[in-house]
Chain A
Amino acid sequence: MNLLLRSATIIDSTSPYHLKQIDILIKNGIIDLIDKKISSDSKVREMDCKGLLVSPGWFDMYACFCDPGYEYKEDINSGSLAAAAGGFTGVAVLPDTIPALHSKSEIEYVLNKAKGNLIDVYPIGAITRKCEGQELAEIYDMHHAGAIAFSDAGNPVSDSGVMMRALQYAKLFNGVIFSHPDDVNVSHGGTMNEGVTSTNLGLKGIPSLAEELMVVRDIYLAEYTQSRVHFSMISTARSVELIRAAKKKGVNVTCGVSSIHLMFSDNELNEFDSNFKLNPPLRTKDDIAALKAGLKDGTIDVIISAHTPQNAELKEVEFDYADFGAINLQTSFALANSSVGKNIGAEGLVEKFSVNPRKILGIKIPSVNIGHEANLTVFSMEDEFIFAQEKNYSKSNNTSLFGKKFSGSVKAVINNNQFSEVKK
């Protein structure tokens, strides 16, 4: 693939061309030249990038591709297409499949199936067998097979002893264990944030406390085991506070937030919209303000999509019976940019979307520099984005964002010697 990006503004603090508006010539997937006014060649495809930004390709650290087992919701191919359209060149996929990604063979299946894709798909192995929180899965073997991290997806590891041993065991290879902080005895059957809205709607609430108790526990476990905990997504003001204090103390914890939780509060549920039934639940405006502050001061490391496809049969039902989750790969950047773009700026967004996820997972961070592989995302923070249903690449439609307008749009992704332009 040969490509010339004209007049792009580079956002990459590791590159000597950082913040420069310049031409980038890519030959056979490698950045061949970065210079002002590179002369055109009829054999090279050109893309006008005036007013657009180019950064190292983005990485989503928490998406569900549902493959194997739930291919009717999503598969590695459709998930990859949605990810590319959302600006991602890399995705870490969750293990709550059937069978779960809990042994070497499932890890290899994902890696093999994703081979040759534009986007790099990194399987996250299960911490415990079937993500059930009981018995440790073969973590070390999965690590050797290519599992990038370990998580029980939307299930917390409720047994503190199991979590402790997982953290100790992962020290064999400096692995990172994801925590989904939820004390199920406190959240007990809840369907939305416990608060004024849930009281009005008569819906069973999930107290912030359910998350915070587990954040505290896993901070203590990280400290005790001297191992690495990554909270895959936090949603409450108190969680931000707890993690801020833990980081200050030097405990090895990192955390993410989903872009949906940055944009929407539990007020969205007033009409019982099951597409906003999420785990963790949407919280209050105060929580959103705290999450934004946490992103700004570095307490929160990454922004994730938490892309969770569900078929209509599991969503277009009474709220109590609906499953949790929403698709978000194609909307994640627009939501994040609309909510915190002005607050953390282009460099902040690139850090949360591209640099930090790879740092946490130990993946080489692409650089926008001559001689490096072209692993790039071309985007705009100003352009308007409307998520059209006919442009939805996911197999599932569980989102309430179709037709809604946001600021910030993805123009193209480049990776593995492939180029994909996002059509308006």
Chain B
Amino acid sequence: MSSLSVKHLLGIKYLNADDIELIFKTADSFKEVINRPIKRVPTLRDTTIVNLFFENSTRTRISFELAEKRLSADIVNFSASSSSVSKGETLIDTVNNILAMKVDMVVMRHPAPGAGVFLSKHIEASIVNAGDGTHEHPTQALLDAFSIREKLGGLKGKKICIVGDIRHSRVALSNIFCLKKMGAEVMLVGPPTLMPTYIESLGVKVEYNLKRALEWCDVANVLRIQLERQDIKYFPSLREYALYFGINKPLLDSLKKEIVIMHPGPINRGVEITSEVADSNHSIILDQVENGLAIRMAVLYLLSGRKEN
């Protein structure tokens, strides 16, 4: 198999395990490329990609942009806060205006869940979802799974614990879909108010005690507290959150085994994770960032439909 079963990458739920495996294999070769002295390949020459960011992003946008540059694609960047868009132009109009200038692919981040799916019904170009509200963030889940695979040699049977604000997290949702498809076990831990009522229907375990969850897992993927996405208070204070759901060195030392620590970034140091942990050898946070580049190159390449490498 050398091509994906989908035209767009709108979410992990639309992929099958073969697609994910293909993306990993492709990312393996791109990871080799980005470590060469000459990091650029001509694969997507003459392909124009627009990065549409309707929501603030630094690392995802830079990662995509760099991936596109490494593939020699032409790039157009569009950023707008959702408020300025809601004043006037609709999403479809914005995108069609850009596509009228003969753009081949769209990378989009958007605050509304399903925005990518919605757009895919109105345009021809391939779409890569770079995060749509509380729905999915597929490239993040792919790079997370890719990093676990790299660190632990595979995903099947591995125990992954996702810590924190599950309710507002597209990263959690995409991670759950991806890890389950690849045969890993998933446990969620966080305050009950941040746990969606029906989350267990996705085939995951739910735990409210952080230490018990860490004792169980091989890898803890620690989520950022999305204060910007919480319109009402779901827990009393950041202090209390850090006390009971923050990961610190003494807690890790008290475990019977070593576990791997991941974080999608940006980190609220001292809230969900202490600096000591983030910078320790438990952490593969910076590997995640490097792998993000390889994964995004793989996704863009595979969706472009280019055969030659």
A residues apposed to B, CB below 8 Å: 188-189, 194-196, 198-205, 207, 271-272, 313, 316-321
Nearest A residue to B170 via CB reads: A202
B113 near A201: Cβ-Cβ < 8 Å:
yes
Q: Of B90, B114, B121, which one neighbours A201 at CB under 8 angstroms?
A: B114
Smallest beta-carbon distance B38→chain A, Å:
40
Rounded to whole Å, the gap between the CB of A402 and the closest CB of chain B is 15
CB distance from A320 to the nearest CB of B (A): 4
Q: Which residues of the other chain, A, contact B86 by a CB distance below 8 angstroms?
A: 321
Known A316-B92, A318-B91, A318-B118: A203·B197 in contact at CB below 8 Å:
no
Cross-chain contact A319 with B198 (CB below 8 angstroms): no
User: Would A272 and B114 be within 8 Å (CB), given that A202-B133, A202-B136 are in contact?
Assistant: yes
Known: A198-B196, A201-B113, A318-B110. 11 other contacts (CB 8 A): A196-B201, A199-B196, A199-B197, A202-B114, A202-B133, A202-B136, A203-B134, A271-B121, A319-B113, A320-B113, A320-B133
CA A271 – CA B10 in complex, angstroms? 11
Assess the B196–A318 pair: CB atoms within 8 A: no
Q: B201 touching A318 by the CB < 8 A rule?
A: no
B115 in contact (CB, < 8 A): yes
How many residues of B sit at the interface, in one of the four size bands? 20 to 34
Contacts of A271 in B (CB 8 A): 117, 121
Decide: B113 and A202 in contact? CB cutoff 8 A: yes
Q: Shortest beta-carbon distance, A319 to chain B, in Å?
A: 5
Report the bound CA distance from A201 to B91 in whole Å.
20
10 contacts across the A-B interface (CB closer than 8 A): A199-B197, A201-B113, A202-B132, A202-B170, A316-B90, A316-B92, A317-B118, A320-B111, A321-B86, A321-B112
**Residues of the A chain whose Cβ atoms lie less than 8 Å from the Cβ of B92:** 316
Shortest distance in angstroms between A314's beta carbon and chain B's nearest beta carbon? Answer: 11
With contacts defined as CB atoms under 8 Å apart, how many contacts are there between chain A and chain B in the complex? 68
Assembled-state Cα–Cα distance A319/B114 (Å)? 7
Shortest Cβ gap from A30 to chain B (Å): 52
With A and B bound together, what is the CA distance between A198 and B132 in angstroms?
14
A320-B116 Cα distance, complex, nearest whole Å = 12
Asked whether, in the complex, the Cβ of B136 is within 8 Å of the Cβ of A317, the reply is no
Given the interface pairs A201-B135, A313-B90, the reply to whether A320 lies near B112 with Cβ below 8 Å is yes
* Distance between B15 CB and nearest chain A CB, rounded to angstroms: 14
Find chain B residues with CB under 8 A from A195 CB. 198
CB closest chain-A residue, reference B135: A202
- Asked whether B173 is an interface residue with its Cβ less than 8 Å from the other chain, the reply is yes
Are A319 and B112 neighbours in the complex by a CB distance under 8 Å? yes
- From residue B80, how far is it (CB to closest CB) to chain A in Å? 14
Closest to A269 in B: B114
- Alpha-carbon distance A216/B112, docked complex (angstroms): 33
- Which B97-121 residues sit within 8 Å CB-CB of chain A? 110-115, 117-118, 121
- CB pair B198–A204 under 8 Å, yes or no, is no
In the complex, which residues 177-227 of chain B have their Cβ closer than 8 Å to any Cβ of chain A?
196-199, 201-202
Check B231–A189 contact: CB distance below 8 A.
yes
The residues of B that contact A320 with a CB separation of less than 8 Å are 111-114, 133
* Residues 122-142 (chain B) with a chain A CB within 8 angstroms: 132-136
| Residues of chain A lying within 8 A (CB to CB) of residue B133 | 202, 320
* C-alpha gap A338/B235 in the complex (Å): 46
Measured CB to CB, the nearest residue on chain A to B174 is A202
Which chain A residues border B91 with CB–CB below 8 Å? Answer: 317-318
Nearest residue, chain B, Cβ from A207: B197
Would you give the shortest CB distance from A351 to chain B, in whole angstroms?
36
Minimum CB distance partner of B202 in chain A = A199
**Highest count of chain B CB atoms <10 Å: which of A200, A271, A317:** A200
Q: Is B151 interfacial (CB-CB < 8 Å)?
A: no
Q: Distance (Å) between the CB of B138 and the closest chain A CB?
A: 12
Which residues of chain B come closer than 8 Å to A188, judged between CB atoms?
231-232
Measured between beta carbons, the chain B residues less than 8 angstroms from A202 are 113-114, 132-136, 170, 173
Q: Let me know if B13 is at the binding interface, CB within 8 A.
A: yes
Pairwise interchain contact A272-B231, C-beta atoms closer than 8 A = no
Whether A194 lies near B117 (C-beta < 8 A) is no
- Residues of B within 8 Å of A196, CB to CB, are 198, 201
Q: Is the CB of B232 within 8 A of A319?
A: no
- The residues in B between 1 and 43 inclusive whose CB is less than 8 angstroms from any CB of A are 13
A194 touches B112 (CB 8 A): no
Contacts of B117 in A (CB 8 A): 271-272
**B201 cross-chain contacts in A, Cβ below 8 A:** 196, 199
Contacts of B118 in A (CB 8 A): 272, 317-319
Closest to B200 in A: A199
Contacts of B173 in A (CB 8 A): 202
The residue among B91, B113, B136 with the most chain A CB atoms within 10 A of its own CB is B113
List A contacts of B132 (CB < 8 A): 202
